Amino acid sequence: MARSICLSALYFDNLALIYLLLEDPGGGRMALKTGALLAILGVGIVGVYMLMTLPQFLNVAPKPVVAHVQLVNNCPLRESAFRVQDLATGKITAFSGGYARVNTVNTHYLTLSLAKKYEDVVFSGTPVRVTENMKLTADCQTSEKENATFQSLRNSLGGQ
């Protein structure tokens, strides 16, 4: 009740202010400046309110999810060489039939890694945010640009 009375008072104060602005004896210049100032002030207040409430919409509440991960294997290695790793927990899950089911949280990131028996091989998978159905691609091909960079490094370091 008190809130509605305050809002009503503000509404009537604004009407009175608008009436005063329209009745400006100075030929309208003051009304235009004051009106523009009030408009800027109103936009500023709305902008501050939006910025204060925006983080609530951007934050995703962590919730448990079962991610169904499909392996897209573009490498000469068998599927059994790859694992899915939850970067937040370190939990590793193997693929079976090209798919893996990972119990995780929707705010975590998953990436591909190699099985422990391939510890001498370096494979860096790209972290992907968890969704219920997702694909992770294993691509072992090196691009021409990477080959040119490595050749340049070999030449500058005196290698073959």
pLDDT tens profile 83-92: 999 999 999 9
Q: Mind listing the pLDDT tens digit for each residue in 93-148? A: 999 999 999 999 998 999 998 888 877 777 778 899 999 999 998 887 765 556 66
Crossing angle for the helix pair 29-58 and 2-22, to the nearest 10 degrees: 150
Distance set, CA 19 to CA 23, 35, 120, 147 (Å): 6, 11, 80, 75
Report the SS3 class of residue 70.
strand
| pTM tops 0.85, yes or no | no
Q: Give residue 108's pLDDT.
A: 92
Strands 133-139 and 64-74 turn out to be: parallel
